[in-house]
Amino acid sequence: MFSLFKSKKNSTEENSKPEGLTSKIRQGLTRTRQNLGKQLAGLFGSGKIDEALYDELESVLLTADAGVNATSWLLEELRKKVKRDTLNDAEQLKEALQEALVGLLAPMAQPLDVTTKKPFVIMIAGVNGVGKTTTIGKLAHYFQSQGRSVLLAAGDTFRAAAREQLLAWGERNGITVIAQESDSQKKSDPAAVIFDAINAAKARDIDIVLADTAGRLTTQLHLMEEIKKIKRVITKAMPDAPHEILLVLDANTGQNAISQLKAFDDALGVTGLVLTKLDGTAKGGVIAAIAAQYSQNPPALRFIGIGEGLEDLRPFDAQEFVEALFD
C-alpha cells in the first residue's frame, strides 16, 4: 500500500546561506509595517498625550488585527508607563508601545527543541488552505540545515494533489517520503501511513518525522474525530509521540485564528504554532491577539512564514518581530 521515495540532495541549496534574519523579517512584514507605521507616524509625530490620542491608537491597533484583549492590555500598559514616568509627549509613546508589545509577545517565543527524542515526531494540523504541506517542506529544509535527518509522512490521503506536493518537497530537499502508492484503488488510512513512516524512521535512525495531515474545518466533527485517531495511532507506533503537535495558522485569517487554535487544542493538545503568510497581510497584529487571549499560558509560536522561499520560515523572535514592525 505504501511506498518509500528517496531523492538526491540539491547541492546548490545545501550550500546556500540565508539572508539576515532581521532584514528578511522586515521585508516579509512590509505590508503590516506600512499599514501600522503610516498610522502611528501621524499619532506619535507631535502633540500631547490625551484621551483623543489613546482613542486613535486603539483604532490603529484594532485595524492591525491586534484584537480587543491585546489592544486593551497595551493601552493599559501605556497609561501606567505614562503615569509612572510622567511622559507628556506623544513621541515618547512609540518606544513605550514597542516595549509593551515585546513584553506581550515574548512568552510565545519558545524555540522548538527536537533533541529530546529520536525520532522526534512532529504532527502537522490545520484547516484547509493554511499551507501545511508547504510548511512541512520548509521545516524539512530548516532541520536539514541544522544537520538533522528528516523523513516525511504523506498523511493527507484526501486531497488529490497532496501526495504529489509532498513528494515534490521531498525531491527538492532530498528527503525520504512515505506515501500511499499512486495506483492504489482506494484512499488509505492516513494514520496507517504515518504509523509506517515512524517505523521506517526508527529502522533508518532518522532524527525527525514530519507528519502531514489533511486540512479540516473545525466544524467537521467527523474529521476532527479522525485526527484524534491519527494521534492515538502515532502513540501506538511510539508511546511518547507525537512529541510536537504544530498547528498551522494563516495570518490572513485574523481573529478566526483564535477559534481555530481553541478547537484544535481541545481535540489534540496543541504544543506549538506556525503562523504563515505574514508577508501577504497588513494584519500581523494577530500574534498579539493570540498572546492576549492566552495570557496565562501562551502557546509557543515556533515559526513564522515571511515569504515563499525555503529560507522564509523562521523561528519567532519577539524583539526582532516588533523592531521590524516599527522600523
From first to last of its 327 residues, what are the pLDDT tens digits of the chain? 344 444 434 433 333 334 455 677 777 777 777 777 667 777 777 678 889 889 999 998 888 888 899 999 999 999 999 999 998 888 888 889 999 999 999 999 999 999 999 999 999 999 988 989 889 999 999 999 999 999 999 998 877 677 888 898 888 888 999 998 765 545 678 999 999 999 999 999 999 999 999 888 887 888 889 999 999 999 999 999 999 999 999 988 888 899 999 999 999 999 999 999 888 776 678 899 999 999 888 899 999 998 888 888 999 999 988 888 876
Instruction: Tell me what pLDDT residue 182 has.
Output: 62
How far is residue 30's CA from residue 215's CA, in Å, rounded to a whole number? Answer: 28
Residue 121 lies in a domain: yes
Could you tell me the maximum CA-CA distance found in the chain, to the nearest angstrom?
73
Instruction: Tell me what pLDDT residue 17 has.
Output: 37
Which amino acid is present at 256?
N
Cell of 23: 532584514
pTM attached to this predicted model? 0.87
Cell of 275: 503562523
CA torsion 50-72-130-324 (nearest 10°) is 40
Cell of 68: 480587543
Sign of the dihedral through C-alpha 255, 258, 264, 267: negative
Q: Name the burial class of residue 175, with classes exposed (0-12), middle (13-18) and buried (19+) by CB atoms within 10 angstroms of its CB.
A: buried
* CATH code for position 245: 3.40.50.300
Residue 257 lies in a domain: yes
Residue 317 near residue 106 (C-beta atoms within 8 A): no
Residue 235 lies in a domain: yes
Instruction: Tell me what pLDDT residue 181 has.
Output: 73
Residue 301 lies in a domain: yes
Residue 14 lies in a domain: no
Residue 15 lies in a domain: no
Residue 16 lies in a domain: no
Q: How many domains does the chain have?
A: 1
Residues 6+ apart with CB under 8 A from 72: none
Residue 173 lies in a domain: yes
Q: Name the burial class of residue 153, with classes exposed (0-12), middle (13-18) and buried (19+) by CB atoms within 10 angstroms of its CB.
A: buried
Residue 151 near residue 201 (C-beta atoms within 8 A): yes
Rg (alpha carbons) of the chain, rounded to whole number = 21
Cell of 162: 497532496
Q: Which residues pair with 247 in a beta bridge?
A: 125, 273
Three-class DSSP labels, 157-223:
CCCCCHHHHHHHHHHHHCCEEEEECCCCCCCCCHHHHHHHHHHHHHHCCCCEEEECCCCCCCCCHHH
Residue 119 near residue 199 (C-beta atoms within 8 A): no
Q: How far is CA 188 from CA 156, 165, 179, 192, 227, in A?
A: 9, 17, 9, 7, 14
How far is residue 305's CA from residue 311's CA, in Å, rounded to a whole number? Answer: 9
Alpha carbon 148 to its chain centroid, in Å, reads: 20
Q: Which domain holds residue 222?
A: 1-9+21-327
Q: Name the burial class of residue 130, with classes exposed (0-12), middle (13-18) and buried (19+) by CB atoms within 10 angstroms of its CB.
A: buried
DSSP state of 89: B
